[in-house]
Amino acid sequence: MNQLSVFNLLQLMIRRDLLLAMRRRADVLTILVFFALVVSLFPLGVGPEMEMLRKMAPGVLWVAALLASMLSLGRLFSADYLDGTLEQMMLAPQSLSVLVLGKMIAHWLVSGLPLVLMAPVLGLQFDMSLPGLLVLMFGLLIGTPILSMLGAIGAALTLGLRGGGVLLSLLVLPLCIPVLIFGTGAVEALASGLSVVSNLSFIAALFMLCLVFTPWVAAQALRISME
């Protein structure tokens, strides 16, 4: 399979999953509403103390983004599994890893990218500064794809299991802790007058590591689950 055919296959899978997602717009809207509600409830519950809100803002936004992105992970492979499409993908001569990567990218475009775009608007509720909002947005931009890629492994391992949603959360949440720590740490470092490069560089390194290995791992997990 040459490079052009791999690119075309990836593009085809992304386009297919995006079209299917647009037919289930209610699922996408649920993710955005959940993210907005979780973030907006914290200022109401904590109170109008701006100093406290500024300190807790990065953690609240990152945790809400993590939980919101997990809402759709259970459906990443389930629809294709139920209608037999996944079995045909595994029998196709094309690389299953490339197909899985396409599904990961489509999942992030539907559930991750909207959260990145919404985060600065919701961050204004916490009186975050413009540099803080920019660092938060950039951290989410490189961090949320990691959540989709790690989540795909968990979704593949729990495919077809009864109560798989709970097991999926138990598998994925511990793996996402480093992204959560360094994502919030970048904004906190900026507020303390420190450099954000180390925190963002760590997230970028995790992103590259996941991009290389998670499609193959998720593909193998799918093969195991389908046996």
Q: Is 97 exposed, middle or buried (0-12, 13-18, 19+ CB in 10 A)?
A: middle
Q: CA 104 to CA 3: how far, in whole Å?
A: 19
Question: How many other CB atoms are there within 10 angstroms of residue 161's CB atom?
Answer: 12
Q: CA 157 to CA 83: how far, in whole Å?
A: 18
Residue 9 has pLDDT above 90, yes or no: no
Q: How many domains does the chain have?
A: 1
Lowest mean pLDDT among 1-15, 64-78, 120-134: 1-15
pTM: 0.89
The answer to whether 132 and 190 have CB atoms below 8 angstroms apart is yes
Residue 52 has pLDDT above 90, yes or no: no
Residue 1 has pLDDT above 60, yes or no: no
The answer to whether 153 and 221 have CB atoms below 8 angstroms apart is yes
Average pLDDT, the chain: 88
Q: CA 135 to CA 128: how far, in whole Å?
A: 11
Q: CA 89 to CA 102: how far, in whole Å?
A: 12
Q: Which residues contact 10 (CB under 8 A, 6 or more apart)?
A: 98, 101, 102, 105
**63 to 9, 137, 179, 204: CA distances (angstroms):** 34, 14, 10, 19
Q: Which has the closest alpha carbon to 160: 87, 81, 101?
A: 81
Tens digit of pLDDT for each residue in 71-107? 888 788 888 888 888 888 888 778 889 999 999 999 9
Q: Which band of pLDDT confidence, cut at 50, 70 and 90, is reported for residue 215? A: very high
**Chain mean position to CA 44:** 26
User: Pick the residue with more confidence: 189 or 90?
Assistant: 189
Domain housing 112: 3-226
Q: CA 147 to CA 210: how far, in whole Å?
A: 10
Tens digit of pLDDT for each residue in 14-38? 999 999 888 888 888 899 999 999 9
DSSP string of 83-96, one letter each residue: TTHHHHHHHSSS-H
Q: Which band of pLDDT confidence, cut at 50, 70 and 90, is reported for residue 2? A: very low
Q: Which band of pLDDT confidence, cut at 50, 70 and 90, is reported for residue 47? A: confident
Mean pLDDT within 47-65 = 87
